[in-house]
Amino acid sequence: MAKEVDDSPDAEAAKASPGTVIERKLDVKLPAGAPKKCAAKKTKQPSAADRKRVEEGQLALDDLDAMHGQPARRLEEELQALRARGEEERTAYEAQREKLQARLEKALAKL
């Protein structure tokens, strides 16, 4: 730990040789009853109730996903059927229009 000091033997040594780092050991005495190392905290293990809640939650999510899949597939099938029906309608319209257009052109040609 470094700190700046004004009046000390280290300050005099620093002034005598600028640019040189002055190091000194710092003695710290701990009380006799102080622990030498930090005790590792025990991690709390999940209880059986906690594990059961997690399992129930996962099952509920799985059920919801499965239930959502059925209507989604049904809607997709309906959408495909509507697209096919729309294509049939467009094809029928175009065929009818071509016939009428040809008839109109024949009538205009006779004028």
Q: What average pLDDT does range 58-79 have in this prediction?
A: 92
Give CA–CA dist 45/48, Å, rounded: 9
List pLDDT tens digits, range 7-20: 777 677 777 778 77
Question: What is the signed CA dihedral for 87, 90, 95, 99, rounded to 10 degrees?
Answer: 180
List pLDDT tens digits, range 34-47: 566 666 677 889 89
Domain map (residue ranges) of the chain:
57-111
Q: What average pLDDT does range 43-56 have in this prediction?
A: 92
Residue 23 clears pLDDT 80, i.e. is over it: no
